[in-house]
Amino acid sequence: MTRVFWDYAIMGCGTWILAFAVKNLFDPMGLVTGGISGLAIILKELWHVPLWITNVVINVPLFLLAIPMQGWKFVQRTLYATAMLTIGLAILPKIDIVGDDMMLSSLFGGVLSGIGVGLILLQRATSGGTDLLSALIHKKLPRFSLVEILQAVDAIIVVLGIAVFGIRQSLYALLAVYISMQVSDGLLEGMKFSKQAMIISEYAQDIAKEILTKMDRGVTGFYARGMYSKEEKLVLICVVAKKEIVELKTIVHSIDENAFVTVSDVREVLGEGFLEKQKN
121-141 average pLDDT score: 86
Q: How far is CA 201 from the centre of its chain?
A: 38
159-181 average pLDDT score: 95
Q: How far is CA 100 from the centre of its chain?
A: 29
Quote the pLDDT of residue 180.
93
Domain ranges for the chain: 2-190, 194-266
- Convert the pLDDT of each residue in 227-248 to its tens digit: 998 899 999 999 998 888 999 9
Measured distance CA(110)–CA(179) in Å, rounded: 5
DSSP code of residue 275 = B
b/e code 190-216 from CB counts within 10 Å (16+ = b): eeeebbebebbbebbeebbebbeeebe
Quote the pLDDT of residue 183.
92
Quote the pLDDT of residue 278.
54
112-141 average pLDDT score: 89
Residue 104 pLDDT grade (very low, low, confident, very high; cuts 50, 70, 90): very high
- Convert the pLDDT of each residue in 33-49 to its tens digit: 999 999 999 999 999 99
Determine if the pTM surpasses 0.75.
yes
More confident residue, 192 or 222: 222
Nearest to 241 by CA among 276, 275, 279: 275
Quote the pLDDT of residue 74.
74
Please check the confidence at residue 7 and state whether its pLDDT lies above 70.
yes
Quote the pLDDT of residue 124.
80
Please check the confidence at residue 261 and state whether its pLDDT lies above 90.
yes
Quote the pLDDT of residue 204.
96
Please check the confidence at residue 60 and state whether its pLDDT lies above 80.
yes
b/e code 29-64 from CB counts within 10 Å (16+ = b): bbbbbbbbbbbbbbbbeeeeeebbebbeebbeebbe
Out of 23-27, 139-143, 269-273, pick the least confident.
Answer: 269-273
Nearest to 96 by CA among 36, 49, 29: 29
Nearest to 9 by CA among 84, 107, 117, 109: 84
Dihedral angle, C-alpha 266, 268, 272, 275, nearest 10 °: 140
Quote the pLDDT of residue 259.
96
What's the mean pLDDT when you consider all of the chain? 91
More confident residue, 152 or 191: 152
* Domain boundaries 194-266, corresponding CATH code: 3.30.70.120
Distance in Å from the first CA to the final CA of the chain: 11
Find the length of the chain: 280
Q: How far is CA 258 from the centre of its chain?
A: 40
More confident residue, 30 or 136: 30
More confident residue, 132 or 161: 161
Any residues with CB less than 8 A from the CB of 214 and at least 6 apart, and which? 247, 251
Amino acid at 117: V
Please check the confidence at residue 276 and state whether its pLDDT lies above 70.
no
Please check the confidence at residue 157 and state whether its pLDDT lies above 70.
yes
- The sign of the dihedral angle between the CA atoms of 240, 243, 246, 248 is negative
More confident residue, 61 or 190: 61
- Convert the pLDDT of each residue in 192-201 to its tens digit: 678 999 999 9
Which percentage of the chain shows pLDDT scores above 70? Answer: 95
71-85 average pLDDT score: 90
Please check the confidence at residue 189 and state whether its pLDDT lies above 70.
yes
- Rg for the chain, CA atoms, rounded: 24
